[in-house]
Chains A and B, each alone.
Chain A
Amino acid sequence: MVGLSSGEKQFIQGGIAQDLRCDGRKRLTYRPIYVETGVIPQANGSARIRMGATDVIASVKAELGKPSSLQPDKGKVFIHIDCSPTAEPAFEGRGGEELSAELSVALQCCLLGGKSGAGAAIDLSSLVVVEGKNCWDLYIDGLVVSSDGNLLDALGAAIKAALSNTGIPRVQVTADASSDEQPEVDISDEEFLQFDTSAVPVIVTLTKVGRHYIVDATSEEESQMSSAVSISVNRQGHICGITKRGGAGLDPSIILDMISVAKHVSEQLLNKLDSEIAAAEAEVEDDES
Chain B
Amino acid sequence: MAGKATSTPTTYSPSPTSHKTKVPIFSDDRVRPDGRGFNQCRPAFFRTGAVNAASGSAYAEFGNTKVIVSVFGPRESKKAMKYSDIGRLNCNVSFSTFANLVHREGSDHKEYTTILHKALEGAIMLETFPKTTVDVFALVLESGGSAKLPIICFSISISDNFVMHVVGDLSVVISCASLALADAGIMMYDLVASVSLSCLNKNLVIDPILGEENCEDGGLMITCLPSRYEVTQLTVTGEWSTPMLNEGMQLCLDACAELAKIMRSCLVDAAPGSEE
A interface residue numbers (CB < 8 A to B): 38, 41, 43-45, 65-66, 68-71, 73, 76, 78, 98, 101-102, 105, 108-109, 112-116, 118-119, 123, 125-126, 128-131, 165, 167-168, 170-171, 190-196, 229, 234, 237-252, 255-256, 259-260, 263, 284-285, 288
Is A114's CB under 8 angstroms from B164's CB?
no
Given contacts A113-B238, A244-B118, 20 further A-B contacts (CB under 8 A): A38-B1, A73-B20, A76-B159, A98-B114, A105-B111, A108-B162, A116-B216, A119-B217, A126-B17, A167-B4, A190-B3, A192-B6, A194-B9, A195-B12, A239-B245, A243-B236, A247-B120, A251-B230, A252-B253, A259-B242
Q: Indicate if the CB atoms of B1 and A249 lie closer than 8 Å.
A: no
| A118, B1: Cβ atoms closer than 8 Å | no
Contact residues in A for B121 (Cβ distance below 8 Å): 247
Q: How far is the CA of A255 from the CA of B217 in the complex (A)?
A: 21
User: In the complex, which residue of chain A has the Cβ closest to the Cβ of B241?
Assistant: A238
Q: Which of chain A's residues have a CB closer than 8 A to the CB of B246?
A: 256
Report which B residues bind A (CB closer than 8 A): 1-6, 9-15, 17-18, 20, 110-111, 114, 118, 120-123, 153-157, 159-160, 162-164, 199, 213-219, 224-225, 228-242, 245-246, 249-250, 253
What CA separation (Å) do A136 and B20 show in the bound complex?
Answer: 21
Q: Contact at B237–A114, with CB atoms within 8 Å?
A: yes
Select which of A43, A102, A128, A165 is within 8 A of B14 by beta carbon.
Answer: A128
Q: A161 CB to closest chain B CB, in angstroms?
A: 14
The answer to whether A241 and B249 touch (CB under 8 A), given A116-B215, A118-B218, is no
Report which of A69, A123, A125, A242 forms a contact with B156, defined as CB distance below 8 A.
Answer: A69
Main secondary structure of the interface of A (DSSP, over half): mixed
Nearest opposing residue in chain B for A229, CB measure: B234
Taking a contact as CB atoms under 8 Å apart, the answer to whether A250 and B238 are in contact is no
- Which residues from A are CB-within-8-Å of B250? 252
Instruction: Give the 6 A-B residue pairs with the shortest CB-CB distance, closest first.
Output: A114-B238, A119-B239, A249-B230, A247-B122, A167-B4, A242-B236
Nearest CB of B to A169, in Å: 9
Question: Is A129 in contact with B218, judged by CB distance below 8 angstroms?
Answer: no
Q: How far is the CA of A98 from the CA of B228 in the complex (A)?
A: 30
Q: Which residues of B are found within 8 Å of A247, using beta-carbon distances? A: 118, 120-122, 232
Which residues of chain B are near A288, meaning CB under 8 Å?
Answer: 2, 5
Do the beta carbons of A248 and B122 come within 8 Å of each other? yes
Q: Which residues of B contact A234 (CB under 8 A)?
A: 239
Nearest-CB distance from B45 to chain A (Å)? 27
Residue in B162, B225, B237 whose beta carbon sits within 8 Å of that of A249 in the complex = B225
